[in-house]
């Protein structure tokens, strides 16, 4: 056994929505839970960034829900002042269905969900091995953890790569199912404007034709002090330009979005989401890979390609882990 190994009941890899929701459920059931994430900030694809006084949500733009349990969590987050209603639809397509956002920005949703949980950031898991009746988890910086159960929430191809490091056997049918899950890519441009954009309130647009799949005015959204737009490229453009210089792809997207900008671009940054949204969604809300000791995979690829799907998958994963952990 490695020196200084940290011992926990349940180790969760990833502090995105699915990991955080699962952690809350498991901790309320009396289990000791630790979350590890390779990122600097909580939230995974719930991501916000600042450029000077401009603030951008550059991953998930808003949250919708149809599930009463998740709606209750959002309402509690709103009562705590960390989530709020953005709008009930965009321009002529307003449908009366609430679009939630984080307050002051999207990462606040993750910060709210993480309250009372033990998280360790900048811990990239590089190996997962079976060690007797437990799992041993190793990070890139040489820390070791011993866990009675593990929940994997990275995008499926990344979780499969981790399983391969410890030669953890998968049922062949399960392997085929999981290997079939692919994701869209998304290049996201964050641009600071000299003046207000020409996007109408409440600040979100889906252009009729590519390569821009979404454009949002973060000032109208209520999260930015300065005019700031987020532009998402569609999968086809993102894939075709993935290996190109990012500022060059960003410039092409700014040109394509020109009719919506309405003001000079002062500066911009580009972020690439390799795993943006799953193209295929699995038929189960999570994948129970091993029962003893329990090993589960969850995330938006299991219960729907959106924040709510990730949350529901996290709930299902907690249930599967609790059912298979010794009492
Ligand atoms: C550009 C974009 C726009 C979107 N727009 C919307 C929207 O408007 N509405 C909506 O509902 N959904 C939207 N989505 C989808 C939504 O963001 C996701 O469905 C949801 O956030 C996924 O949560 P998750 O927990 O499954 O995964 P993630 O949020 O990806 O969390 C996985 C976590 O695992 C961590 N991780 C990965 N590998 C390791 C490792 N080896 N070691 C440690 N940690 C690791 C990652 O750092 C990450 O934090 C959007 C996504 C993108 C990218």
6-42+114-181+280-324: what CATH class? alpha beta
Cα(57) to centroid of ligand 1, in Å?
Answer: 13
How large is the average pLDDT for residues 71-87? 98
The answer to whether residues 185 and 70 touch, using CB atoms and an 8 Å cutoff, is no
How much is the pLDDT for 217?
A: 98
Q: Is the Cβ–Cβ distance between 11 and 147 less than 8 Å?
A: yes
- Return the CA Rg of the chain: 20
DSSP state of 257: T
Which residue has its alpha carbon closest to ligand 1 atom 31? 16
Rounded-to-integer distance, Cα 292 and Cα 116, Å = 28
Quote the CA–CA distance of 324 and 327 in Å, as a whole number.
9
Average pLDDT over residues 88-116: 91
Residue 94 above 80 pLDDT?
A: no
Q: Which helix (H) or strand (E) holds 258?
A: helix 258-261
pLDDT in tens, 300-317: 999 999 999 999 999 999
Tokens encoding 85: 């209603």
Contact (Cβ atoms closer than 8 angstroms) between residue 89 and residue 99: yes
Q: What is this structure's pTM?
A: 0.97
Beta bridge partners of 294: 291
Give Cα 248 distance to the centre of its chain: 26
DSSP per-residue codes, 204-237: EE--SSSSEEEEEEHHHHTS-SS-EEEEEE-HHH
Query: How much of the chain exceeds pLDDT 90, in percent?
Result: 94
Please enumerate in sequence order all residues whose Cβ is within 8 A of that of 75, keeping only pairs 6 or more positions apart, or say none. Answer: none
**Which of 14, 141, 279 has most ligand 1 atoms within 8 Å of its beta carbon, as the pocket-test mutant?**
14
- The average pLDDT across 139-148 equals 96
For residue 299, how far is its CA from the centre of ligand 1 (angstroms)? 8
Q: Is residue 294 within 6 Å of ligand 1 at its C-beta?
A: no
Distances (CA, A) of 238 to 48, 53, 221, 229, 246: 20, 28, 25, 18, 10
Q: Is the pLDDT of residue 92 over 80?
A: no
Q: Report the atom number in ligand 1 closest to the C-alpha of 298.
A: 26
* Token digits of residue 21: 């929701």
Model confidence over 179-215: pLDDT tens digits?
A: 999 999 999 999 999 999 999 999 999 998 889 999 9
**In testing the pocket of ligand 1, which one of 71, 98, 111, 154 has its CB within 8 Å of the most ligand atoms?**
154
Q: Note every long-range contact of 132-136, with CB atoms under 8 Å and residues 24 or more positions apart, other chains counting.
A: 133/292, 133/293, 134/293, 135/11, 135/293, 135/295, 136/2, 136/5, 136/166
Residue with CA at minimum distance from ligand 1 atom 32: 154
Residue that is written with structure tokens 């995105």 in the block: 16
Separation between Cα atoms, residue 171 and residue 29, nearest integer Å? 29
- Please name which of 292, 266, 231, 274 lies closest in space to residue 56, comparing C-alpha atoms: 231
Query: Which atom of ligand 1 lies closest to the CA of 124?
Result: 42
Q: pLDDT tens, 259-305?
A: 999 999 999 999 999 999 999 999 999 999 999 999 999 999 999 99
Distance, CA of 301 to CA of 286 (rounded, Å): 9
Ligand 1 atom closest to the CA of 61, numbered from 1 = 8
Domain ranges in the chain are 6-42+114-181+280-324, 183-278
Residue 105's nearest CA partner among 65, 38, 58, 44 is 58
Residue 1 clears pLDDT 80, i.e. is over it: no
Ligand 1 within 6 A of CB of 186: yes
- Please identify, by atom number, the ligand 1 atom nearest to the C-alpha of residue 313: 26
How does DSSP classify residue 115? Answer: T
Question: Tokens for 299?
Answer: 């995330």
DSSP character at residue 200: P
Q: What is the reported pLDDT for 209? A: 85
pLDDT band with cut points at 50, 70 and 90 for residue 4 = confident
User: Burial letters for 84-115: b for 16+ Cβ neighbours within 10 Å, e otherwise?
Assistant: bebbeebeeeeeeeebbbbbebbbbbbbbbbe
Tell me how far apart the alpha carbons of residues 119 and 116 are, in angstroms, rounded to a whole number: 9
Distance CA 189, CA 87 (A): 23
183-278 topology per CATH: Polyamine Oxidase; Chain A, domain 2 (3.90.660)
CA distance 124 to 158: 12
């Amino acid at each position: 056994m490695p020196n200084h190994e940290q011992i926990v009941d349940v180790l969760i890899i990833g502090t995105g929505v699915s990991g955080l929701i699962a952690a809350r459920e498991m901790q309320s059931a009396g289990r000791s839970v630790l979350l590890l994430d390779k990122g600097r900030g909580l939230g995974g694809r719930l991501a916000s960034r600042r450029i000077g006084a401009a603030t951008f949500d550059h991953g998930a733009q808003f949250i919708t829900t149809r599930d009463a349990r998740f709606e209750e969590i959002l309402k509690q987050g709103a009562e705590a002042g960390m989530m709020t209603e953005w709008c009930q639809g965009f321009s002529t397509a307003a449908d009366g269905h609430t679009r939630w956002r984080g307050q002051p920005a999207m990462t606040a949703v993750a910060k709210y969900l993480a309250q009372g949980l033990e998280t360790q950031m900048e811990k990239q898991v590089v190996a997962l091995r079976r060690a007797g009746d437990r799992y041993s988890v190793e990070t890139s910086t040489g820390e070791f953890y011993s866990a009675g159960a593990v929940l994997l929430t990275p995008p499926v191809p990344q979780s499969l790569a981790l399983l391969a490091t410890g030669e953890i056997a998968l049922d062949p049918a399960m392997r085929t199912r999981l290997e079939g899950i692919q994701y869209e890519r998304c290049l996201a441009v964050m641009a600071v404007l000299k003046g207000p954009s020409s996007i109408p309130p409440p600040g979100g647009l889906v252009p009729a034709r590519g390569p821009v799949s979404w454009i949002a005015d973060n000032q109208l959204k209520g999260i930015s002090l300065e005019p700031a737009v987020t532009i998402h490229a569609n999968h086809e453009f993102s894939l075709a330009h993935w290996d190109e210089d990012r500022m060059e792809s960003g410039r092409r997207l700014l040109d394509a979005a020109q009719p919506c900008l309405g003001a000079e671009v002062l500066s911009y940054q580009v972020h690439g989401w390799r795993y943006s949204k799953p193209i295929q969604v699995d038929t189960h809300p999570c994948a129970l890979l091993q029962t003893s000791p329990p090993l589960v995979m969850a995330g938006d690829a299991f219960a729907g390609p959106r924040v709510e799907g990730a949350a529901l998958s996290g709930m299902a994963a907690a249930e599967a882990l609790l059912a298979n952990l010794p009492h």
